[in-house]
Homo-oligomer: A and B are copies of this chain.
Amino acid sequence: MGLSNYISVDCVIFGFDFEKLNVLLVDRTLTDNETGDVLFTDHTLTGNHIYEDETIENAAHRVLFELTGLQNVYLEQFKIFAHPDRLKKPNDRQWLLHDGRNPDVRIVSVGFFALLSVRDVTLEWKGRTVKWVPYHEIGELAFDHNEILEGAIEALRNKTKHEPIGFELLPEKFTLSQLQKVYEIILDTEFDKRNFRKKVARMKYLIPLDEKQTGVAHKPARLYMFSREVYEKTRKDFFDFWV
């Protein structure tokens, strides 16, 4: 099974740690073959070429599995990146050449974003170091990966406003304060606690459990679950573009 050497996927993997939104980045360090000097070092998103007989969704799930060991992760295609010059910055050309690839071949990359609650992650991938970096601390990335990241954030924001995907960034059981925090971080805003809860109380698909937080140095909060089943059954389509 060969590789399709002109299509790739790039995954923006978001992980929420109850405080910040993080993104999984991979170190990219190019060293001179002879002297061993470090020529440059920076970061990339996580991506892969796809196999010839593979769907792009599969390729994206594969990346995700290799990195996190997780299979059932929220993953969504959001945009294609295909600018003719997207791989043509000097460092990027050098890196591709070093890797035995032709930097003049136009590569179309399909952007995906994934959502998960931060957990332990395989800390190596193809011999490169992988780490969580807070979204706001991400500097200049390799290739067009800053553009892909911004596209992912925008897609995440838009989707979050209209569909219940915030839950994907939390563990199965979570508190209302954690849920509120997710939305505040993604939408870059703050909500009134009482009003947020009043709104939330109307959502039939947010199931209160008979369980509480443990081990916290304050009144323990009740735990909730999201039920996609109830959501699908009770959701109404409606019309809200105005405002």
Q: Considering residues A54, A84, A234, A241, which has the most beta carbons from chain B within 10 angstroms of its beta carbon?
A: A241
Docked pose: A138 CA to B243 CA in angstroms = 35
Complex interface bits, A82-105 against B, C-beta within 8 A gives 1, otherwise 0: 111000000000000000000000
Q: In the complex, which residue of chain B has the Cβ closest to the Cβ of A82?
A: B56
List of B residues within 8 angstroms of A110 by Cβ? 80, 82
- Are A162 and B241 neighbours in the complex by a CB distance under 8 Å? yes
- Are B161 and A161 neighbours in the complex by a CB distance under 8 Å? no
**Contact of A161 with B77 at beta-carbon distance under 8 Å, contacts A55-B82, A84-B52 already known:** no
Docked pose: A77 CA to B111 CA in angstroms = 13
Copy count, this protein chain: 2
Complex interface bits, A208-243 against B, C-beta within 8 A gives 1, otherwise 0: 000000000000000000000000001111111111
Q: In the complex, which residue of chain B has the Cβ closest to the Cβ of A59?
A: B82
Give the contacting residue for A79; candidates B6, B77, B235, B239; CB below 8 A.
B77
A193 to chain B, nearest CB (A): 15
Complex interface bits, A45-61 against B, C-beta within 8 A gives 1, otherwise 0: 00000001111100000
List of B residues within 8 angstroms of A235 by Cβ? 243
Give the contacting residue for A4; candidates B52, B106, B199, B200; CB below 8 A.
B106
Docked pose: A238 CA to B235 CA in angstroms = 18
- Are A242 and B202 neighbours in the complex by a CB distance under 8 Å? yes
Within 8 Å of chain B (Cβ to Cβ): is A30? no
A52 to chain B, nearest CB (A): 7
- Are A240 and B84 neighbours in the complex by a CB distance under 8 Å? no
- Are A162 and B240 neighbours in the complex by a CB distance under 8 Å? yes
- Are A161 and B240 neighbours in the complex by a CB distance under 8 Å? yes
Within 8 Å of chain B (Cβ to Cβ): is A163? yes
Docked pose: A202 CA to B240 CA in angstroms = 13
